Structure 1
Amino acid sequence: MVDIAVQLYTLRSLDAPITDLLDRVGEAGYDGVEFAYRVDDAPVEDVLAALDRNGLEAASAHVPIEALEETPVEALEAAFDDTVDLYGRLGVDTLVVPWLDPDHFERAAAVDAVAARLDDLADALDVERVQLAYHNHDQEFATVDGAPALERLIDRTDARIGFEIDVGWALVGGSDPAALIDRYPDRITHVHASDADVDRGELVELGSGDVELDAVVASAQRADCEWLVYEHDDPAEPLASMEWGATALRDALD
């Protein structure tokens, strides 16, 4: 059975404590949340209490790769041990690298270097009993040696590494997201249920763009993905978008 979660990046513009946001997520009918950058404005104990009272699980967390490679980044000083400890206390067992710049996917050697980098992180996280996954945008679908760079990355990374396919960005990149999930069912653990206007190259509300949601959900079910994660990168009304996402995903799963 596939559960549904919301990527908290969708709600990042709201001036509210994360505990209040989790209450709204629970009211919307989600099974879980995917953390992103908003876990340090409340004590861990309060976040855990909010998850518990709303019946929410921690689906995963987006973590900049620098936080796992012990290189400080702006406004984020946590290194590997601190990052793993924080999310471990929140019950997160999958950490997702959410972004790498386009130049990492322009040449075969660059893609292979990313694969080696992810393999090294997977080794380190395996000791902590944490899974590593990678989330795409559209740059991962640049053609490298006659095939999308993402396919090369999947083929050259250890099978322990999962992939979180963002279907809206995959479509913008020129891929058929449902077919991509069907091709790599053993590697895709999470599916980002987003939608996109391909002509404009931007994400839109679920159901108003070019993604065939029913086909994507059917592929995710066939692949036995753990989570369908709703995300809108820049919603005009974040709470309404989050609530609509839950409704659309429940309808597609029925």
Structure 2
Amino acid sequence: MVDIAVQLYTLRSLEAPLPELLDRVGAAGYDGVEFAYRVRESPVEEVIAALDRNALDAASAHVPIEALEDAPSEALEDGFDETVDFYDRLGVDTLVVPWLDPEHFESAAAVDAVATRLDGLAAALGAEDVRLAYHNHDQEFATVDGAPAIERLIDRTDDRVGFEIDVGWALVGGSDPAALIDRHADRITHVHAADADAARGESVALGEGDVDLGAVVASAQRADAEWLVYEHDDPGDPIASIEQGAKALRDALE
């Protein structure tokens, strides 16, 4: 059975502390949450309490690759050990690399270098009983040696590297997202249920864009994906957005 979660980036414009945002996620009817934005702004004990009172599981967490490669900067103080320990306290068992710049998908050599990096991180995290996944945007669908770069990335990475397919961005990149999930079902851990206007390359509410949500959900179920994660990059009303997203996903799962 596939559970539904919300990516907290969807709520980034709200000024409420994270525990209050988790209360709104629980009220909207989600089973879990994918951490990302502002996760460290509230005491971890308060975040855990909010998860518990809303019966929310930690679906995963988006973590910059630098935090997993022990390359902290002025804006990113934590490295590998601190990151793993922090998310372990929240019950997270899958850490997701959410973004790599387009230059990493412009040539076969660049894609292969990304594959090597992800393999190394998957091995290191595996030793801590944590999974690694990679989340796509549209740059991963640039043509490399006659095929989308993401196909080469999946082929060149170890099976320990999972993939969180963002179906909206996959569509913007020119892919059929349901077919992509079917083709790589054994590598899919999560599916980002995001809709998009493919022509404009913009995030829109579920059902208002070009993504065939029914086909995507069916593919996610066939792949035994653990989570459908709702995300809207720039909702006008974030709370209404997550409420509508939960309903659309529940309806699609019936």
Pairwise TM-score range, normalised by the shorter structure: over 0.9
- Residue 132 (structure 1) aligns with: 132
Q: Which amino acid aligns with 1:176?
A: D
**1:122-177 per-position Cα deviation (integer Å, ceiling 9, x unaligned):** 11111111000000000000010111100100011010111000000000000000
Which residue identity lines up with residue 162 of structure 1 in the other structure?
G
Give the length in aligned residue pairs. 254
Q: Partners of 1:210 and 1:9 in 2: how far apart?
A: 21
Structure 2 distance, partners of 1:246, 1:3, is 11
- Any residues of structure 2 matched to 1:229-248 within 5 Å, and which? 229-248=229-248
Q: Partners of 2:121 and 2:132 in 1: how far apart?
A: 7
Aligned-partner residue type, residue 233 of structure 1: D
CA-to-aligned-CA distance 1:37-57 (integer Å, 9 cap, x gap): 322121111111100100000
Which whole-Å CA distance do the structure 1 matches of 2:36 and 2:89 have between them?
15
Question: Are 1:71 and 2:71 an aligned pair?
Answer: yes
Hey, what does 2:172 align to over in structure 1? Answer: 172
Match of 2:108 in 1: 108
Do the aligned partners of 1:133 and 1:162 also contact (CA within 8 Å) in 2?
Answer: yes
Q: 5+ unaligned residues in a row in structure 2: which ranges?
A: none
Deviations 1:186-213 (A, max 9, x none): 0001000000001111111110000000
| Native 8 Å contact 1:67 1:73 kept in 2 | no
In 1, the alpha carbon distance for the partners of 2:113 and 2:250 equals 39
1:50-103 deviations in whole A, cap 9, x for unaligned?
Answer: 001000000000000001111124532111111000000000000000000000
Alpha-carbon distance between aligned partners in 2 of 1:151 and 1:10, rounded to the nearest angstrom: 28
Q: Normalized against structure 1, the TM-score is what?
A: 0.99
Identical-pair percentage? 80
Three-state SS of the structure 1 residue aligned to 2:23 is: helix
Per-residue deviation, residues 207-243 of structure 1 (Å, max 9, x unmatched): 0000000000000001100000000011111111011
Instruction: Determine helix, strand or coil for the equivalent of 2:240.
Output: helix
Distance 1:196 1:74, change over 3 A: farther
Aligned residue in 1 for 2:98: 98
**SS where residue 209 of structure 1 aligns?**
coil
Contact 1:107–1:144 (CA under 8 A) maintained in structure 2: yes
TM-score by length of 2: 0.99
User: Is 1:163 aligned with 2:163?
Assistant: yes
Instruction: Provide Cα deviations, 1:9-49, integer angstroms capped at 9, x if missing partner.
Output: 00011000000000000000000000003221211111111
Q: Distance in 1 between matches of 2:149 and 2:10?
A: 27
RMSD: 0.7
Unaligned runs of 5+ in 1: none
Amino acid at match of 2:202: E
Supply the distance in 1 between the matched residues of 2:74 and 2:198 (Cα, whole angstroms).
32
